[in-house]
Amino acid sequence: MRRATSLLLTGSYFTLALTFAILLWRNGGGWGAGVAALAGGLALCFTFHALISGVLSKTELQREVEVLRDAHRILMVQIQQVDDRMTQVLDRVVEDAQRRSDDVSGEIHRLEDMVHRMGQTLEDRFTPTSHRHRPEAAPLRRQSAVLLDTVREALAENRVDLYLQPIVSLPQRRTAFYEGFSRLRDESGRIIMPAEFMAIAEPEGLMSAVDNLLLFRCVQIVRRLAKTDKKIGIFCNISMTSLGDERFFPQFLDLLSDNKDLAGALIFELGQAAYEGRGATEARNMGKLADLGFRFSLDKITDLDLDFQDLARSDIKFLKVSAQVMHDLMAETQDGPVMRFLPDLAAQDYSALAGRYGIEMIVEKVESERQVVDSLELDITYGQGHLFGEPRAIRDTILAKTDPPTTFLRDRIREQRTMARA
């Protein structure tokens, strides 16, 4: 467009100068005057055009400069806004980090207080009992006393290890949960299995201490997994002694109240016999945990003739049945396997029946592929056993990062033991 405009203006200038030259020539000015008039007119027109173009260019330049200035002002305003927002974000990050630090400090203080209280409880339980004054004639009695001292020493020295065994989904065999187990170690490092020390420790009231330490560590491991966004839950055994312990349970409930976000990842496990024999205090405390969103599981099941409505009211969400018990509770008929206690119910429909009440089945102690096939035929959701993975100890480095402070507990127990010997 600019080139066409220049041609039109040039043509207009030439026409104007030619008209002026012709008028001058026809009025007697002659050829010389006409040519001079033509040349002068063209020069005058182009000079005038140059002046007008310069003014217009300057005006356009000034307008562009103003536009740039406006854009610069807008950019500066936006930069200031971005800077203000970044400052706000940094302030929020600092505040959030400070709040998390305060939360962690508060949790550590609460754990220290709980360990202090548990230490007082353990002092009472570690006080030498009257068995020292009873005659120790039988070798079995002496062995029991030695084992009891070993258990006390293991607790005093914090030689309680946490083992985790995977629980997998079927048929994918992907790890969906873990179950936590406690193992004691003697001074030489030998592992003391639960079957070996439970019969000795339980009459002395020491199983509550073992359970409590296991509960603490399960909570801490779940918290550590949550920090890495691992959506895997942990089954943690809880005894009726712990649920009925008036000194331990309120403190433990306070800890869980401050960690309600772990409710979906921590499942408390009870034995069937213990659950069916629970008292009013234990049932009430189970309800308090359920109110916080925590779920329960039944294991050590020997009878599947269960009241699912009662289980649902108690927030029992999982049933653990060993593969052998599941097999023993079924009977073969012409129409296929059925449950012995309910012959009208096909065995493969039992899992669906439990599912109507929000309860999922877990087959445990799976040791062969044949048992896996049987479980799939029964439409069981999860499996656990040595076939899928043996219990493995959590490394000491991880426990060191998650354990509550135990120096006070160890010092108080050692002081008690020294006074007892004196």
pLDDT tens sequence across 24-77: 666 666 666 666 666 766 676 667 667 767 776 777 777 888 888 778 778 878
- Nearest one of 177, 176, 173, 178 to 369, comparing CA atoms: 173
User: How confident is residue 412, by pLDDT bands cut at 50, 70 and 90?
Assistant: very low
Q: Are residues 49 and 14 in the same domain?
A: yes
Q: In angstroms, what CA-CA distances link 215 with 110, 237, 267, 379?
A: 15, 8, 11, 31
CB neighbourhood size of 128 (10 A) = 14
- Among 123, 156, 190, the domain boundary falls at 123
Q: What are phi and psi of 245, to 5 degrees?
A: -75, 110
Mean of pLDDT values over 240-268: 84
DSSP states of 189-205: --EE-HHHHHHHHTTTT
CB 337 within 8 A of CB 331: yes
Q: Are residues 131 and 114 in the same domain?
A: no
The most confident of 82-96, 169-183, 204-218, by mean pLDDT: 169-183
User: How confident is residue 235, by pLDDT bands cut at 50, 70 and 90?
Assistant: very high
Buried b (16+ CB within 10 A) or exposed e, 297-328: bbbbbeebebebeebeebbbbbbbbbbebbee
Angle of CA points 152, 155, 156, to nearest 5°: 85
pLDDT at position 5 is 63
Q: Are residues 73 and 161 in the same domain?
A: no
pLDDT, one tens digit per residue, over 294-314 is 999 999 999 999 999 999 999
Q: Are residues 170 and 138 in the same domain?
A: yes
Does a cis peptide bond (omega within 30 degrees of 0) precede residue 171? yes
CB neighbourhood size of 212 (10 A) = 24
Q: Are residues 91 and 131 in the same domain?
A: no
Q: Are residues 163 and 62 in the same domain?
A: no
pTM given for the model:
0.62
Q: Are residues 197 and 275 in the same domain?
A: yes
CB 182 within 8 A of CB 160: yes
Q: Are residues 181 and 291 in the same domain?
A: yes
The residues that bridge with 339 in the sheet, in sequence order, are 330, 342
Residue 414 has pLDDT above 60, yes or no: no
Residue 174 has pLDDT above 50, yes or no: yes
Angle of CA points 216, 217, 218, to nearest 5°: 95
1 or 324: which carries more pLDDT confidence?
324
How many domains, in total, are found in the chain? 2
pLDDT at position 404 is 45
One-letter amino acid at 249 equals F
What is the token pair recorded at 130?
Answer: 């009257």
pLDDT, one tens digit per residue, over 278-289 is 999 999 999 999
Q: Are residues 309 and 403 in the same domain?
A: yes
The secondary structure element, H or E, covering residue 269 is strand 266-271
268 or 343: which carries more pLDDT confidence?
268
Residues 6+ apart with CB under 8 A from 352: 379
- Among 69, 89, 123, the domain boundary falls at 123
Distance CA 64, CA 380 (A): 76
Residue 257 has pLDDT above 50, yes or no: yes
- Parent domain of 189: 127-421
315 or 258: which carries more pLDDT confidence?
315
Angle of CA points 380, 385, 388, to nearest 5°: 90
What is the CATH classification number for the domain harbouring 327?
3.20.20.450
Strands 191-192 vs 175-185: parallel, antiparallel or unpaired: antiparallel
Q: Are residues 112 and 258 in the same domain?
A: no
- Among 75, 95, 123, the domain boundary falls at 123
Mean of pLDDT values over 369-382: 92
pLDDT at position 366 is 94
CB 166 within 8 A of CB 159: no
DSSP states of 359-410: -EEEEES--SHHHHHHHHHTT--EEESTTT---EEPPHHHHHHHPPP-HHHH
pLDDT-wise least confident of 110-119, 182-191, 357-366 = 110-119
pLDDT, one tens digit per residue, over 97-137 is 666 656 655 555 565 555 555 555 545 554 544 444 444 44
pLDDT at position 416 is 40
Mean pLDDT of the chain: 76
pLDDT at position 14 is 66
pLDDT at position 365 is 93
User: How confident is residue 23, by pLDDT bands cut at 50, 70 and 90?
Assistant: low
- Nearest one of 186, 190, 194, 115 to 151, comparing CA atoms: 186
pLDDT at position 131 is 45
Q: Are residues 220 and 259 in the same domain?
A: yes
* Beta strands in 59-174, from DSSP E residues, in sequence order: 160-169
**Tokens 């089945």, residue located:** 361
Q: Return the percentage of the chain with pLDDT > 90, whole number.
A: 26
Strands 342-346 vs 336-339: parallel, antiparallel or unpaired: antiparallel
One-letter amino acid at 213 equals L
pLDDT at position 117 is 57
Q: Are residues 27 and 141 in the same domain?
A: no
pLDDT-wise least confident of 9-13, 199-203, 411-415 = 411-415
